Structure 1
Amino acid sequence: MKFNNLFNPIKIREMEIRNRVEFPAMGTKMSTEDGYVTEKLIDYHVARALGGNGLNFTEVCSVYDKANPKDFLGICDDKYIPGLKKLADSIHEAGAKAGVQLWLGGMAVGSDPTAKMIVPSDVPIKGTDYVIPGASLETIKECVKAFGDAAKRAVEAGFDTVEFHAGHNYTPHSFLSGAFNKRTDEYGGSLENRSRFLIECIEAIRNNIPEDMPLFMRIDAHDDCVENGLTIEDVIEFCKLAKTAGVDVLDISRGNFTTNAVKYEVPPVDLPRGFNVDNAARIKKETGMITVAVGRINDPEQADEIIRSGKADMVVIGRAQLADPEFCNKAYRGDVDSIVRCVGCNQGCYDGFVSTEMPHITCLRNPALGKEKEYALVKTDNPKKVLVIGGGVAGLEAALTLKKRGHNPILCEASDSLGGQFALAGAAPRKEEMKEAAIAMGEMAKREGVEIRLSTPVTADVINEISPDEVIIAIGSAPIKLNIPGADLPMVRSSHDVLAGKVSASGDVVVIGGGLVGLEVAEYIAEKASKITVVEMLDQVAKDLGDLRKICVMESIAEDGIRTITSAKCVEIKENSIVIDKEGTLEEIPCDSVVVAIGARSRDFSEIENLCNEKEIPCHVIGDAIRARRALNCILEAVDVARSI
C-alpha cells in the first residue's frame, strides 16, 4: 500500500519538506537543567529524521530570560545558539527540516519558583493569599522583543522555520482568550485588543527572520472547559489577522493545562483518533491558510486520507513516532504491518514527563526512547536457545528482541492465545487499540520466525525436551481472590472473567475495587447492569491511573451514573447484598452480582526456577511475574534482559 498524498513534498515559502509529516514539539526532559541541548536530545531527533520524518520541531523553547524555567530548552540568550545549531545541523544531516518552537509559558513555568509567570490579568491562587500579578506594559514590551530576539537566534542557529506557540493556555493564548484575559487596557476587552500582544509578537518574529523563511503558529481550535473562552469563529478571525502579520502555517491543536481540557493536549486512547481534524479543516477553508492537523493521528492510512481529502496540508504524527521512529520509512515502503503502534496509554510520554521518578519521557512500546544510541540492537556473537515462558507482551517483547539479535527464542504459552492481560485490557471501553497491538505483537513474532508453542504449560518434560541455554520467566500474574465470607457464592465473578466474556454481570452490580480494572469493568457492564456501585478501600478511586486517562475514565463513570464509595472495605458477601465497613460503620448494599477487581498477584514459578537451578540454566524473571505493575515497566525489563543475553 502506497500513501502518495502523505509522502508528497510540500513547499512553504522557500522551504521544501520531503513529505507532509511533522514531528511536533513534545516535552522530553532531555535538556540540561539550565536549558542546553544534550546529545540525548539530538539522538532522539536524529532517529525520527532518519526514520523518514519531514519536519522536526524542537520542544517548547523559552524566549524570555525572566520566564525561563529549569529543565526546558532555552533560546533566550546567545549562549544557547551553539547547542541549538548542533541540533539543527544533526537533523539536516539525517534528511529532515528543522524548526524551533518559540515559547512563553505563562503559569506553566511555575514548576520553577525562580521563573516569572507572565499572565494577562491577576490570578489569585486558591487556598492562599498570593496573587500572580497581570503583566505590566513594560513586561509586555519586553516579551514582544524577546520573541523577536529568539527568532533571530533561531536563524543564526540554522533552523529552517520557527513556530510561535499561541495555544494551551501559555502566555499568548492567555492574552487571546477572554476566559483568562480580564484586562481593560488596549490588550484586553475586544478580540482585536486581546489579539494585540500576539500580533506584536508575530510581527517581531517576522521582522527577525528572512523573507523566505516560513512562520508556523500553534493555535487552539477553540477553548474547552472554560467560561467565556474562544470559539472557533474567534480563532478564525484571529488567524486572519495573524496571516496579515506574517504567519504562513496554522498548527491546529486544542486544550489547556489548567482544566480537564489538558486531555486534548496529549490525548489518551479514550479520545477518538483524529478528533480535531474537522476543526483544522474548517479553519483551513475559512482562512485559506496552510494548515496542519493534530490529534491522535497514528495510522498512515488515516494520515494519507486527511491530506487526500483536503482537510489539511500536513499532519502531526507525534507519539506514533515515539513508539516507532521508523514509522515514516515503514509507511513509505507500504510495510504497515511492521509499524509498532502507539496505543495512547500515556504511561511514558505524559506520565513520564510529569513524574519526578523518570529522568525523561519514555514509551511503553519503545523502551529505547531517549536511549537511542545506548539501546541500538547489537547482533550476538554467541547465539543461544532461549526458552521464553509466557506469551504476554513482556514475553513477546523479549522473544522479538532476542530474535532480532540473532538468538533462537522458543516461546511457550499455557493458554491458546498470545497477548496476555494487555489483550484482555483491550476489551475495556475505548481500548480496542491495545488489544489490536497485543495481537499485532504476536503476528510480528511469527513473521520474525520466533518459534511459538501455544497451549503449552512449561513442565520439567518441556524444559528437558527443549534443553535451553537460558530461560526467561514471563508468566505474569493472576487476579487476587477475596478471602471473606461469601466470596465463593455463585453471584461472585472475577473482573478478568467478565472482561474476557466468560461470565456476565447484570442487574444491580457491586464492583469491589476502584482501581483501573475495577472502573473499566464497571464501564464494560454499564449497558447491561441496572445499577453499578464501585467500592474502594482507598480514599479515592482511580489512584493507579495516569492523570489524563483518569480524567477520561472519571468523566465516563459520571456519564454512566456509576456510584463510587471510597474508604470502604467489603467484609462479607450475602446472597443478595454485600456488607462494607466504611470508616467503622457497617453498611449493606443490595445487589444481584458482585465483580471482584482487587488487583493481581504474581503466579508461582518456584518449580521452574528450582529446575533451572538444578540444571544450572541461567534464569531471568520479568514483568508481572516479579510483581503486578504497569506494562511500561514490564516491557522495559523484557528488553533489558534480552539485550543482556
Structure 2
Amino acid sequence: MAFDNLFSPIKIRGMELKNRVVFPAMGTKMPSEDKYVTQQIIDYHVARVLGGNGLNFTEVCGVHDPSTPKNFLSIGDDKYIPRLKKLVDAIHSAGGKAGIQLWQGGMATASYQNQDIILVSDTPIYGTDKVIPGASIETIKEVIKSFGYAARRAVEAGFDCIEFHAGHNYLPHAFLSPFFNKRTDEYGGSFENRVRFLIECIESIRNNIPEDMPLFMRIVAHDDNLENGISIEETIEFCKLAKKAGIDVLNVSRGNFSSAAIKYEVPPVDLPRGFNVDNAERIKKETGMITIAVGRINDPSQADEIIKGGKADMVVVGRGQLADPEFCNKASSGKENTIVKCVGCNQGCYDGFVNPQVPYITCLRNPALGKEAEYRLIKTDNPKKILIAGGGVAGLEAAITLKRRGHTPILCESNNSLGGQFVLAGEAPRKEELKIAALSMGEMAKLENVEIRLSTPVTPELIKKINPDEVIIAIGAEPIKPNITGSNGDHVTNSHDILAGNSTANGNVVVIGGGLVGLEVAEYLSESANSITVVEMLDQVAKDLGQLRKICVMESLHTHNIKTFTSAKCVEIKEDAVIIEKDGELQAIPCNSVVIAIGAKSRASNDIIMYCDENNIPYHTIGDAVRARRALNATAEAAEVARAI
C-alpha cells in the first residue's frame, strides 16, 4: 500500500479507524430550511466514505435549537435524531465512521437571524445605537446543558465520536479569547474564568456519552489579527485542562471571522500548503494529546510526511476530498497521479457558501459536488463522435467526461499546448498550483485516450472533414482592446502577453484595470518595475475576487507599495504618461510602460455556429466562449453538457 503512515489504522478509546484521514466539518448549505439532514448530505458523505476516507464529520450541528439558524444542521431537539441516524447508518453501510460536530455559533448566527443571538459580552451593533447584551448566567447554563443533551442524542443516532467546536470565534472560543470576553463575573477576566464555560461544556458532553466514545475538540492554535487575543501558550494550557475534562483529540485549526484572519479558516491558494502544521506539532508535543493537522493539505505525500514526521497523528483533507472524493482510494492504491487536487481557488466552496444566490457549495475541479446521485457517470447507449473546439479547462472537462461515458471526443486546440487561460492564470504570483492543475487535466485526457489535436483551430473545413455528430464550442476569451487614444503605442501591452512571457513592462508601470487579472499582473511585475500604479473605473479594486483571495491580494499590494486609483477613467495614453479623469479633473500619471487589463471577451465562433446550423449539427457553447467568467462556470457547464449528450 502506498503512503503506509497515512493509511495505517488508529484506535481512540473504543473507536478504530482504518486510516488517518479526516473529512472535516464544512458548511455546505445542503441541510433543509428546517435544519434536518437531507438525502443530498447523505450522498455527499457516502461518496467520500466509498472513496476510502477514514472518519467523516458532519458540518456544524447546532446544540441549542433556538439559536441555530435555518439551513444549518441541528441536534437541539429529539426530532432531529431519526434523520441524523439515517446519515450515520449510510456512512456505516458504506464502511466508514461517523462523527458529529457540536456547535453554538455565537456572533456567527447574527449573519443569519436577528434573534436568539448568544454573545459572550455586550456587543454594539455597527451603525446603530443598539447593543446586544452578553449572555446571562441562566443562558450560559442553558447552553452548557444543551451540549450535554446534544451529546446524548448523538449517541442515540449512532455516531462513533463527537467533536466540540471551540474555535473560529464561535461562542466557546469567544469565552476563551480575551479579545472577545469582557465579562467581569466568574466566566470572564482571568484565564481560569475564561476557560470555565468550555470546561463545563466538555464535562456536560462527556457525562452524556459512553466511556469508550472519543471526544474531539476543534481549536485555533492562537488568535490572529486580534489585539490581546489568546496566545498559543494559553491554548496549550487550556488543552491540558480539556484533556482532564475528557477531550481525547485536538483538531488544530486557525482563524476567526472578525478580522482578516478569516483567510486561515478556508485558506486560499495564496497561503502555503500546510501552513498550520507547525502549530499542531507544538501543541501535540506540549500536551501529549492525539492531534490533527489542518490547513491546505491536498497531497498524499504531504499528508504522509506529516504523520511520518510525528507532527500530527491524523490529517484533515477537506477541500481535497471535495475536489476528488476518491482521494484516499487513489492514494492508497498507488494512483496518486490521478488525484484531482484542490487548488485553493475558493470559488465554489467558500465563495459559494457566502453567496446567497448559490444554493449549495460547488467545486471548480469537481462539478459533481452536491450532485453525487444525479451526476453518477452513466455509460451511453448511443455513442457519438463529438468535436470539441478548445483545450482549456472547459474543453478538457467535457472531453474526459464524454470519453468515460463511452463517446468518442476529438479535442482540437488552436495553440500548441493544453490548459488555456488556467495555465496563464497559474503564472500569477502564488498561483502555480492552478497551472499544474490545468496541465494535469491535459495529462488525464491523454490517459483516457482522448484524441487530441494541437495547433488545430476548428474551421468549417475541419468540421466537414471530421463529420461529428455534435460540436462543443469551448474556445474561450481574448483580451478586450480599449478604445483609448494612444493604446496602440509601442510601450503598451496587455495582461495576457505579460503573463505568457510574450512582452515586458519596465520602469514606472501603469496597469489599466483593477480587477483580478490587473492586480495579479501588478504583483507579477512588482519585483522588476520601479513603481506600479493601478487605475480602476469602479469604486474599488478587486471587486471580482472572492473575499478570502481579496484579503491576500490586498495585503500583497500593500507589501509591494502598489498604488491604486479608483473611480478613475483612463482617457489617453501618452509616451510618458497616462491621463486619467478622476473627480471631474484630469490627472497625468508619469510612466514608461502601460499594461491593459480591462477584461476579456468571448472569441468569435460565428463560422463554427453557421456551419453547424447549415448542416444540422447540434452544438453547445460553454465557458468563456459564452462570456468571460470564472473557471468554476466553465467546468460546471462542461460537466452538464457532457452528461446530457
Q: Distance in 1 between matches of 2:501 and 2:319?
A: 31
How big is the shift at 1:127? Answer: 1.2
**Rounded Cα–Cα distance in structure 2 between residues aligned with 1:441 and 1:325:** 17
Which ranges of 4 or more aligned residues in structure 1 deviate by more than 3 Å? none
Match of 1:373 in 2: 373
- Taking the TM superposition and a 5 Å limit, the aligned residue runs for 1:402-551 are 402-551=402-551
Partner of 1:127: 127
Rounded Cα–Cα distance in structure 2 between residues aligned with 1:464 and 1:32: 50
The amino acid of 1:643's aligned partner reads: R
Equivalent residues of 1:69, 1:111 under 8 A apart: no
Per the alignment, in what secondary structure is the counterpart of residue 59 of structure 1?
coil
1:356 aligns with 2:351: no
Q: d(CA) in 1 for partners of 2:192 and 2:222?
A: 16
Q: Tell me the distance in 1 between the aligned counterparts of 2:155 and 2:459.
A: 65
Q: Which residue of 2 aligns with 1:239?
A: 239
Counterpart for residue 93 of structure 2: 93
Tell me, yes or no, if the aligned pair for 1:69 and 1:114 is still in contact at 8 Å.
no
Question: Which shows bigger deviation, 127-136 or 272-281?
Answer: 127-136
1:383 matched residue in structure 2: 383
SS of equivalent to 2:59: strand
> Whole-Å Cα distance in 1 between the matches of residues 113 and 31 of structure 2?
19
Post-superposition CA distance 1:526-567 (Å, at most 9, x none): 000111000000000000000100001001111110001000
| Matching of residues 165-176 of structure 1 within 5 Å | 165-176=165-176
Instruction: Give the corresponding residue for 1:333.
Output: 333
**Counterpart residue type for residue 308 of structure 1:** K
**1:290 pairs with 2:290:** yes
The Cα shift of 1:66 comes to 2.4
**Cα distance, 1:409 vs structure 2:** 0.3
* Alpha-carbon offset, residue 114 of structure 1: 4.8
Aligned to 1:249: 249
Within a 5 Å distance, the mapping from 1:480-629 to structure 2 comes to: 480-629=480-629
Is 2:314 the counterpart of 1:318? no
Aligned-partner Cα distance in 1 for 2:283–2:115 = 35
* Superposition TM-score, scaled by structure 1 size: 0.99
Does the 8 Å CA contact 1:121/1:180 hold for their aligned counterparts?
yes
Are 1:69 and 1:115, in contact at CA under 8 Å, matched by a contact in 2? no
Residues of 1 paired with 2:141 and 2:628: CA distance? 54
Counterpart of 1:276, as a letter, is N
Q: SS where residue 465 of structure 2 aligns?
A: helix
1:529 aligned counterpart, secondary structure = coil
Aligned to 2:304: 304
Supply the AA of the counterpart residue of 1:430: R
Aligned 8 A contact 1:570 1:578 in 2: yes
Structure 2: which amino acid aligns with 1:219? I
Counterpart residue type for residue 445 of structure 1: A
Paired with 2:325 and 2:171, the residues of 1 have a C-alpha distance of 32
Q: What amino acid is the match of 1:236?
A: I
Whole-angstrom distance in 2 between the partners of 1:557 and 1:636: 31
Q: Cα deviation per residue 1:356-396 (whole Å; 9 max; x = unaligned)?
A: 11110010111111110010011001111100000000000
Partner of 2:56: 56
- Whole-Å separation in 2 of the counterparts to 1:181 and 1:494: 51
Identity %: 72
How many Å apart are 1:617 and its aligned residue? 0.9
Partner of 1:401: 401
Match of 2:112 in 1: 112
- Residue in structure 2 matched with residue 162 of structure 1 by the alignment: 162
Per-residue deviation, residues 75-100 of structure 1 (Å, max 9, x unmatched): 00000000100001111111111000
Gaps of 5+ in 2: none
Code of the aligned partner of 1:505? A
Distance, in Å, in 2 between the alignment partners of 1:462 and 1:126 is: 62
TM-score of the superposed pair, with normalisation by structure 2: 0.99
Distance 1:338 1:307 in 2: 22
Take 2:131 and 2:53, find their aligned partners in 1: how far apart are those partners?
Answer: 44
Offset at residue 111 of structure 1 (A): 2.6
1:414 counterpart letter in structure 2? S
1:34 counterpart residue number? 34
Task: Confirm or deny that 1:146 pairs with 2:146.
Answer: yes
Q: Report SS of the residue matched to 1:223.
A: coil
Deviations 1:175-230 (A, max 9, x none): 00001001111111111110000000000000000000000000000000010101
Superposed displacement of residue 616, structure 1: 1.2
Q: 1: CA distance between counterparts of 2:613 and 2:325?
A: 40
Q: Which runs of 5+ in 1 are unaligned?
A: none
How big is the shift at 1:446? 0.5
2:398 partner amino acid: A
**Partner of residue 222, structure 2:** 222
Please give the alpha-carbon distance, in whole angstroms, between the structure 2 residues aligned to 1:369 and 1:129.
Answer: 43
| In 1, Cα distance between equivalents of 2:439 and 2:224 | 35
